[in-house]
A = this chain, B = another copy of it.
């Protein structure tokens, strides 16, 4: 075969691993990792995969090197089977878009598959009842790639609508005040009894869950870190109780308007 004909023997899987524990990873995601000769990802996400990684080239990296990691994955995928992994769903604040952008830019025709996973919104919601039963929005408080004024504008519009909001990246060392800002905007449109769920390490080790309200949220703001998902309820959301216990949050779907139960 003439050497100027490019033959691609590799493949690229962009894999969403779900919240963390292997019980919540799809078989399809595990299969893609098992098939890969190279596995790339942030070290936090690679740890639960340990038993699957024997005999593979594992390239673990730190946060903030996404573009380099995407380029490296594509280079390797020209001749090898490569899996690049994200926590949650790779298409939601994960590696999918940057990998596809670089792939398009480099014009390489590598077989590519995006494998969805359980994203933090759904993982966190499942731990506090059913706060996202109807319409909702997903907003990241990271102003690394989106200007803060755009984030504020989005939050304000969504709180005005009164639908629940899932906050990704609610806090980190570089932006400790964005959560306070978001809470302030929420209070302009939603009452103090509006439920707020704080889920740290959802369905991972060291999971911690707190259900509070917009009015009492100031006491809990220090409990939020970069591994936390915050869900601010909407106009119809309410605390879910069993006897005197707070069990979580329910956003009713509206059956109570149609049926008696």
Binding site for B on A (CB under 8 A): 16, 18-19, 22-28, 31, 66-67, 70-71, 89-94, 96-98, 100-105, 107, 109, 114-119, 122-123, 125-127, 129-140, 145-146, 151, 153-154, 157-158, 160-161, 163, 203, 240-243, 248, 250-259, 261
CB pair B145–A154 under 8 Å, yes or no, is: no
Known: A135-B137, A243-B109. A97 touches B23 (CB 8 A): no
Known: A91-B126, A97-B251, A255-B98. A26 touches B24 (CB 8 A): yes
28 contacts between A and B (CB under 8 A): A23-B31, A26-B118, A89-B118, A91-B122, A91-B126, A96-B130, A97-B133, A100-B129, A100-B130, A100-B250, A101-B250, A101-B256, A104-B240, A104-B241, A104-B250, A105-B261, A107-B242, A116-B118, A116-B122, A116-B126, A116-B203, A117-B122, A134-B145, A135-B137, A135-B154, A136-B137, A137-B137, A157-B158
